[in-house]
A and B are shown apart, each in its own frame.
Chain A
Amino acid sequence: MKKALVSVTGVDKPGIIAKVSTALYELDVNVLEISQTILDGYFTMLMIVDVTSASVEFSAIAEKLNLVGQELGEVVNIQRADIFDAMHRI
Chain B
Amino acid sequence: MIEVNEILQTMQMIHEQHFDIRTITMGISLFSCKGSTDRETADAVYSKVTRMAKNLVPVGESLEQELGIPIVNKRISVTPVSMISGENPALIAKALDEAARDVGVNLIGGYGALMHKGSTRAEEILLESMPEVFRDTERLCGSVNVGSTKSGINMDAVRKMGHVIKRTATLTADSDGFGCAKIVVFANAVEDNPFMAGAFHGPGEPECVVNVGVSGPGVVERALKAVRGKPFDILAETIKRTAFKITRVGELVAQEAAARLGVPYGIVDLSLAPTPARGDSVAYILQEMGLEKAGAPGTTAALAMLNDMVKKGGVMASSHVGGLSGAFIPVSEDIGMIESAQVGCLTLEKLEAMTCVCSVGLDMIAIPGDTSANTIAGIIADEAAIGMVNNKTTAVRVIPAPGKKAGDTVNFGGLFGYAPIMPVNAYGNDAFVERGGRIPAPLHSLRN
Contacts and interface: CB of A to CB of B under 8 A. Distances in A.
Interface in B208-255: 245, 248-249, 251-252
A5 to B, nearest CB: 6
Contacts of B251: 86
B11 A7 contact: yes
Interface stretch (B60-68, B187-195, B337-345): B60-68
A37 B4 contact: yes
B7 A82 contact: no
Contacts, number: 58
B1 interface: yes
A35 B8 CA distance: 12
A7 B2 CA distance: 14
A80 B66 contact: yes
B21 to A, nearest CB: 11
Contact of B65 (A35, A39, A62): A62
B259 to A, nearest CB: 13
Interface residues of B, number: 21
A48 B2 contact: yes
A33 B66 contact: no
B6 interface: yes
A72 interface: no
Nearest to A77: B68
Contact of A5 (B7, B65, B69): B7
B298 to A, nearest CB: 31
Nearest to A36: B4
Contact of B68 (A39, A80, A85): A80
Contacts of A62: 65
A86 B4 contact: no
Contacts of B11: 7
A29 B71 CA distance: 27
Nearest to A4: B66
A79 interface: yes
Contacts of A33: 1
A77 to B, nearest CB: 7
B137 interface: no
B252 A86 contact: yes
Given A88-B6, A88-B10, A83 B1 contact: no
A22 B8 CA distance: 24
**Most chain B CB within a 10 A radius of its CB, from A5, A37, A77, A87:** A87
B67 A87 contact: no
B11 to A, nearest CB: 7
A46 B1 contact: no
B7 A84 contact: yes
B10 A59 contact: no
B66 A84 contact: no
B4 A88 contact: no
A33 B69 CA distance: 22
Given A46-B7, A77-B68, A82 B2 contact: no
Interface in A61-90: 62, 77, 79-89
A58 interface: yes
15 contacts: A48-B2, A59-B62, A79-B65, A80-B68, A83-B67, A83-B249, A83-B252, A84-B6, A85-B2, A86-B248, A86-B252, A87-B245, A88-B2, A88-B9, A89-B2
10 cross-chain pairs, A with B, having the tightest CB-CB distances, nearest first: A79-B68, A86-B252, A86-B248, A88-B6, A84-B2, A87-B245, A35-B4, A80-B66, A83-B67, A87-B248
Interface of B: 1-4, 6-11, 62, 65-69, 245, 248-249, 251-252
Interface of A: 5, 7, 33, 35, 37, 39, 44, 46, 48, 58-59, 62, 77, 79-89
Given A7-B11, A84-B7, A88-B2, 15 more contacts: A5-B7, A46-B7, A46-B8, A48-B1, A59-B62, A79-B67, A82-B67, A82-B252, A84-B2, A84-B10, A85-B2, A86-B248, A87-B6, A87-B249, A88-B6
